[in-house]
Homo-oligomer: A and B are copies of this chain.
Amino acid sequence: MYYGALEAGGTKMVLAVMNDSGKTESRVSIPTRSPEETMPAMIDFFRVWDLAALGIGCFGPLDLNPRSDTFGFITMTPKLPWRNYPIYREFSRKLGISVAIDTDVNGAALAEAELGAARGSSVSLYVTVGTGIGGGLILNGTPVHGLMHPEIGHISIVPSPDDPAPDGFCPYHRHCLEGLAAGPAIEKRWGQSARHLPADHPAWELEVYYLAQLCATALLFFSPEKIILGGGVMQQKFLFPLIRKKTLELLNGYIPVQLLGNLENCIVEPALGTESGITGAYLLARGAALGNPDRRG
């Protein structure tokens, strides 16, 4: 049995065909141009295989309300040719197979929950901290959707009194998490890219404070067993012990320490690295083949 997997990004599309045991049979990467240019190439790639289903981890925002007429549309994306594009419906029609779609970050979160750093956890949160901040919450093997998909990057955060730009940079919310702690916020605040800031730069103390607020809020809100922090900014591995320590400080003993320990096993790095996106799409395809109704597979 073969499964199609598509990691649909704003810059490039990664397409793969994988077998029952997850082995990759074929894989290509193509630049994301307009749907008119890019879709036929993708359809052609998948069509030669006898696929059981296709899974799509897609850039967003997406309409994922299964009762909506525009289910599986890419909605208000700044990538104008893809705005309101019915990507789910097009693949369903053209390939004539079950298709499952979710956000790219939910796909990555699913992959980490099933096969990566959160394997065996009933509740896990995956957060990517890079150009933006996004997150996926997985409960018992299923991404949480509710009214829409979560937009964890935009939760409200208490700015630090030491922050030279405490108003933040989010055009919607100013000092939300993304407005204070995403890569572009770091760069705007300090006038240079996060990647070039040394480990003793005050930028990192702020970053730790903001990401620790995210972790503390997550622990209080739904007590995930794993909080996986990925994305470009988290390539700075020295941040992990600092974020764990600051999170414990913010919780101030409220969650019993025997449950949390030093958070070494709770706030962790991704295990799948850059493979989480395509792996998540593969898992979505597997779910669709099994007829997972949540994902309209």
Other-chain contact of A147, B123, B148, B151, B213 (Cβ < 8 Å): B123
Closest to A173 in B: B252
Contact with B along A86-121 (1 / 0, CB 8 A): 000000000000000000000000000000000001
Q: B156 near A225 (CB under 8 angstroms)?
A: no
Contact B155 A220 (CB under 8 A): yes
User: Which label, helix, strand, loop or mixed, suits the secondary structure of the A interface?
Assistant: loop
A149 vs B254: C-alpha distance in the bound complex, in angstroms? 12
With a CB–CB cut-off of 8 A, which chain B residues contact A218?
221
Find residues 235-253 in chain A having any chain B CB closer than 8 Å to their own CB. Answer: 250-253
A153-174 interface with B by 8 A CB criterion: 154-158, 172-173
State whether A158 and B156 are in contact (beta carbons under 8 Å apart), knowing that A144-B222, A147-B224, A222-B137 are contacts in the complex: yes
Q: How far is the CA of A150 from the CA of B211 in the complex (A)?
A: 19
Closest partner residue, chain B, to A151 (CB atom)? B220
Residues of B within 8 A of A254 (CB): 151, 154, 172-173
Closest chain-B Cβ to A248's Cβ sits at a distance in Å of 12
For residue A160, give the distance in angstroms from its CB to the closest CB of chain B.
12
Name 8 A/B residue pairs within 8 A (Cβ), A-sorted.
Answer: A121-B146, A122-B146, A139-B144, A147-B255, A156-B216, A173-B254, A217-B221, A221-B221
A148 contacts B255, C-beta separation under 8 Å: yes
Known: A122-B145, A147-B224. 10 other contacts (CB 8 A): A140-B142, A147-B255, A147-B260, A150-B221, A150-B222, A151-B220, A155-B220, A156-B157, A172-B253, A173-B250
Instruction: Verify B224–A255 contact, CB threshold 8 A.
Output: no
Residue of A65, A146, A157, A254 with most chain B CB atoms under a 10 A cut-off:
A146
